[in-house]
Structure 1
Amino acid sequence: MAFSENSPIVPGKRGINENDKKTDETTHVVTSTSDIIIRNINITLISLAAITGYVSKAQYIHKWVSVNTVLPEAIQGVNASSPGNISQQCATNSSSDAENEYQRLSARMSLYFTLTEKMIGLPVLSLFGIYSDFIGRKPLMIVGCLVECIKYGMMSFFIYEDFHINYLFVCYAVSGLGGTYYSFHLANFASVADTTARGKQRSFNIALIDAVIGISGLAAQIAAGYLIKITGFVYINMIAAGLFALVLLSVIFLYKETHVKTKLANSAKSWNICYAIKRMTSLYTHKGQRGNMPLSIFLVLTIAFVLVYGMGSAKGDVEILYILNFPFCWSSVKIGYYSAVQVFVQTVVGIMLIKVLHLFTNDEMICIIGCISAIASMIAMSFATRDWMLYIAIGLGTMCVVPAPLIRGIFSKTVLPDKQGALFANIYIFEILCGLGGSTIFNNIYAETQTTMKGMAFLVMAGFYLISGILLTICMCLTSVWGTYNLFIQGGSEPSVNSRRSDTLSLDNVNLQQRESHDTTIKVKQETESVDYL
């Protein structure tokens, strides 16, 4: 291992290396205004397509199950038009018992589709993220858009031809083979990291992507409701396929690559599976790869992220089934308006509040506030019996989506520039696992408890948010104890000697101690070779 004159004598202290400061200032790519506009337009179109397809999924499953499932006479019970039961009906020809059974079957079917897509996409997405550090971000975006275009095109055909719903498993399997649209988002988050310096600005820019997604969702939620009511489920899936195709063309011809190919892109070593796994796990085994963040803090943040994202990913399907059921019995149009209000308040307003709160506190404290907001919202949702109560729950949950993007930002600020793809591969592995675990847990909870207490699933979610808040509080305490974590992420894009804790070793102190103890045995070589921590 060779050192330059300015290299730290203790190379493990990544957070206090002056050369690292210069590297971080010069390695991020400067993008033009047109590049940023193109990126945001692509994110908007992807969000429109994904949310449109997502809204139609739960409602199509519920409709298909209701129309094509023959229930035993014991479950069918009394006819819906019988006196005394009219107030409990959500459909003309379904008894309350029958509707409960349809809800249970719909929740299970939604879970099976999610498992198919995510289980296939899990290993694919992990490798895609790592390889993006070698070949760039653009190929990931292309693959993600392509498989989603194929997925929704096939779904349109199967629905139009009135094929059995089991044929949709093929669509979700194809999507999983390309990492789903998560491939596009993974590449976009890594691209933001490529084009911003470390600091609060990066975490806000990463959170801002969620705001763009939220704004796009406003139109998608309302339009999807009307399209389903007017045209059914064929055209809405064709529109989703068309939007993904449009983004695909935009990425191919207009998008500017933000990560230059490295020499490893053309070497056999970079495509070795073992080497790819080594790069992914280096975030846990090499302290320097995570910006000197102690492993204890890294793991606590990871667990908190898993819990927070798991609740967010599982809530959607359960919530739609919840408001389709008695006592709400909402139509697709009403669900669209409700979802639009929810997206605006919880995503757009919530993300904008991050900028205000950054003036007074740090990312961890904002995440804790978000967990408290989510707890209040889930409790209100679980006991809602009137339409207006659902909107109260939305208001209470204004900050509920904030923790997940901020934790992404915290991770990105501590990881080295050439490991951003590996980082977001790790994050999206957790997100897929969260989607699988969350859907499994909460679809089953709702399916088994909606006859006794329909809101039980939301109470369980509130409990998980409480655990997340406690973990984030522990993270803040650990941060204050270790101190080294803040070297890279507080203040501006770079740390300063004055911003360090008084008991944290500075570069000058490290050099002084080393020179006093090894002055006669160590000579610093005048070379420019960089240190490879792997």
Structure 2
Amino acid sequence: MSSDSSSDKSLRTFVPLCFATFFLFASYDNGMHATSGYVYETFWEQRFPNRSDSNSTDESHCTTNKSSEAYRDGQLVQKQVARWSVYVSLAHGVPLILSSVLFSSLSDTFGRKPFLFIGAFGICIKQFLITLAMFSRWSVFLFPPFTLIEGLCGSWVTHIAISMCVISDLTSAGKSRSFYIAIFTFVSGFGSSVGIFVSGYVVTLLGHEFSMAVSFGVALAAFVCICFIPESISNSQKQQKKFSCCGNCRKILQFYTKDDDDHPGSFRWKFVIAVMAFIFIKLAKLGASSMEAYYLLGSPYCFTPEKIGTFETAKSGFSELFILVGIKAMHQCFEDEGIALLSNLSSIAQFLLFGIGSTELYLEVAIIVGSLGMASVPMIQGIMSRMCPPQKQGAMFGSLAVVENVCNLCSSVIGGAIYSETVTFYRGTAYFVFTGFLVLAFIFLLFLVKDSRQNYNRREYTVIINNPTD
């Protein structure tokens, strides 16, 4: 096959994959923020039913006067909402442990496309049921069971893992694959930003129920886009063997327990170091995301839903711009390991500013200094994919899906628990805890950077073979 036809095939697969990913993440984050605001208002109404402003979505619940009754009431509601979010996180994360183990490895046998459909189906069903619940005024404690359905179908975690497998099928190992992964990360992040932005305005104009209905419609659009994604592996490439759950678990663990002698550079210690950095970065970023809306709704910021949408769009937009433009340029000077390290430093600075922030100026500066922050995850994914042979990409990204799901579950619980218990005396405590996670990731990334530089220096040497006759 010529390089032109191969490139055309890659684009025919990658472009609809990007559209599906954009719509899926726009739907997910739109729904997440609409649900957070709806639950916040619902708990406020239940706790203080006689307040005349209880059903508004503006700043009426928020005051910076810490001695006032309104301030104490706001803290109580935030505490209750944070605890509720823990239940949702458990309903989402626990079944994902099973689905993330199975789906990515199964895609090596049955193809990638069916599992893209399953993940999108789960999100569609959850968004539809929550939309129905909001319009019908059902209890918000039905939301965790609805979220359970999404978790069983794999949610966005499996979608990312399968999409990474597709990208690995289409590209060769190295900077080309890392760039494709970076573009994919940009698309998913841009979709999230648009979803949050749209949610803020729809909630302000029409209410949380209509924002959730929009989320359901966008999820359907993602489902339709998946229909146009060609299968990226042929029947001859699929592993023709009977599925074994234990066997797939063993394949996932092998990356971190033994070296692969058949693939150069596939060393156990590199996988362990890379996945540890991945874990701590994900714990920090997912944990912060799980409680950031409540953090901005409360004092001293008192953001409206519309303002939260604008802020989150600006924050992720700076990072996505770097993903789109900066990585290609930085690859001229740095390897993937170096870009991941710089990105992690950017995230550390951003989290510290969020933690100590007392005015909106801190948040604005944090957006700028954290603009490199999104690059660390795709760079680590590219590093790990580069160390893995083609026939094991599904198992490798399956292992990352398991890790990402566990991180999502743990970080949401940790974030909600820390925030609910510390909001009354220092609201930025959770950001300091997550900064500590990023510092640990920085230490692990230093090992990868050092190894990368050593390998680069070795290229300058020529092996000299002694002549036995001399």
Q: TM-score, normalised by structure 1?
A: 0.79
Please list, as runs of the form range in 1=range in 2, the aligned pairs for 1:391-410 lying within 5 A after superposition. Answer: 391-410=364-383
Asked if 1:283 corresponds to 2:255, the answer is: yes
**Match in the other structure for 2:296:** 323
Q: Which amino acid aligns with 1:297?
A: K
Distance of 1:86 and 1:287 partners within structure 2: 57
Partner of 1:48: 26
* Cα gap change, 1:220 to 1:501, in 2 (>3 Å): same
Match of 1:178 among 153, 178, 182: 153
Q: Name the structure 2 match of 1:256.
A: 230
Aligned equivalent of 1:384, options 333, 347, 357: 357
CA distance in 2, matches of 1:162, 1:291: 58
Kindly state the Cα deviation for residue 285 of structure 1 after the two structures are TM-superposed.
3.7
Contact 1:132 1:140 in 2 (8 A): yes
Structure 1 position 127, deviation (Å): 0.6
Quote the Cα distance in structure 2 between the aligned partners of 1:331 and 1:99: 14
Q: Name which of structure 1's ranges 43-52 and 409-418 shifts more when overlaid on structure 2.
A: 43-52
Q: Which residue of 2 is the match for residue 191 of structure 1?
A: 166
Residue-by-residue CA offset, 1:103-132 (whole Å, 9 max, x unaligned): 111111112101111111111121100010
Contact 1:29/1:194 (<8 A) preserved: no
Going from structure 1 to structure 2, the CA distance change for 1:290 and 1:116 (only over 3 Å counts) comes to farther
Please give the per-residue CA displacement for 1:485-520, whole angstroms capped at 9, x wherever unaligned: x7xxxxxxxxxxx974649xx8x98xx99xx9xxxx
Q: Does residue 1:332 correspond to 2:305, yes or no?
A: yes
In the other structure, the counterpart of 2:144 is: 169
The answer as to whether partners of 2:104 and 2:161 remain within 8 angstroms in 1 is yes
Query: 2:36 corresponds to which residue?
Result: 58
CA contact (8 A) 1:29 1:196 kept: no
1:389 deviation in Å? 1.9
1:17 maps to what in 2?
Answer: none
**1:296 maps onto 2:269 in alignment:** yes
What does residue range 187-226 of structure 1 map to in structure 2 within 5 Å? 187-226=162-201
Q: C-alpha deviations, 1:146-196, integer Å up to 9, x for none? A: 111111101111111111111112211110111113222222111111101
Report the equivalent of 2:208.
Answer: 233
Post-superposition offset of 1:282 = 2.6
Tell me, what secondary structure is at the counterpart of 1:415? coil
Deviates more, 1:326-335 or 1:378-387: 378-387
In 2: Cα distance, 1:94 partner to 1:182 partner: 42
CA contact (8 A) 1:297 1:478 kept: no
Matches within 5 A, 1:294-373: 294-373=267-346
CA distance in 2 between counterparts of 1:375 and 1:474 reads 18
Q: Distance in 2 between matches of 1:137 and 1:474?
A: 33
User: SS in structure 1 opposite 2:233?
Assistant: coil
SS in 2 for 1:88: coil
How far is the alpha carbon of 1:291 from its aligned partner? 4.2
Contact 1:134 1:262 in 2 (8 A): no
Q: Is contact 1:88-1:327 (8 Å) kept? A: no
1:122 to 94, 97, 101: 97
Change (3 A) 1:305 1:335: same
CA distance in 1, matches of 2:185, 2:280: 18
Identity of aligned residues (%): 22
Q: What does residue 447 of structure 1 align with?
A: 420
Look up the equivalent residue of 2:17 and give its one-letter code.
R
Q: Contact 1:135–1:262 at 8 Å: present in 2 too?
A: no
1:157 and 2:132 matched: yes
Is residue 291–residue 419 contact of structure 2 (8 Å, CA) maintained in 1?
yes
2:246 is equivalent to residue 274 of structure 1: yes
Q: Which amino acid aligns with 1:260?
A: S
2:404 pairs, out of 421, 427, 431, with: 431
Q: Hey, what's the Cα distance between the residues in 1 that align with 2:206 and 2:301? A: 23
- Give unmatched runs, 5+ long, in structure 2: 50-61
Query: Is contact 2:283–2:434 with CA below 8 Å preserved after alignment?
Result: no
After TM superposition, give the deviation of residue 238 of structure 1 in Å. 2.0
Q: Shift of residue 306 of structure 1?
A: 0.2
- 2:347, 2:438 within 8 Å by CA — same for their partners in 1? yes
Q: State whether residues 204 and 354 of structure 1, in contact with CA within 8 Å, keep that contact through their aligned partners in structure 2.
A: yes
Structure 2 distance, partners of 1:363, 1:86, is 45
Q: SS of 2:265's equivalent?
A: coil
Cα contact 1:30–1:195 (8 A) shared by 2: no
Q: Deviations over 1:65-102 (max 9, x none)?
A: 2112369xxxxxxxxxxxxx965389xx9621111111
Indicate how the Cα distance of structure 1 residues 219 and 477 shifts in structure 2: closer, same or farther if over 3 A, else same: closer
Cα deviation for residue 345 of structure 1 reads 0.6
> How far, CA to CA, are the matches of 1:408 and 1:192 in structure 2?
11
Once the two structures are TM-superposed, the CA of residue 414 in structure 1 deviates from its matched residue by 1.2
2:336, 2:383 within 8 Å by CA — same for their partners in 1? yes
Amino acid at match of 1:277: C
TM-score normalised according to structure 2 size: 0.89
In structure 2, the residue matched to 1:38 is: 16
Amino acid in structure 2 at the alignment position of 1:68: Q
Amino acid at match of 2:234: V
Report deviation, 1:479: 4.6
SS in 2 for 1:31: helix
Instruction: Indicate conservation of the 8 Å contact 2:255/2:271, yes or no.
Output: no
Q: What amino acid sits opposite 1:257 in the alignment?
A: E
Give the corresponding residue for 1:143. 118
Q: Secondary structure at the match of 1:287?
A: coil
Query: Looking at CA atoms only, which structure, 1 or 2, has the larger radius of gyration?
Result: 1
Is 460-469 or 426-435 further displaced after alignment?
460-469
Q: CA RMSD in A?
A: 2.8
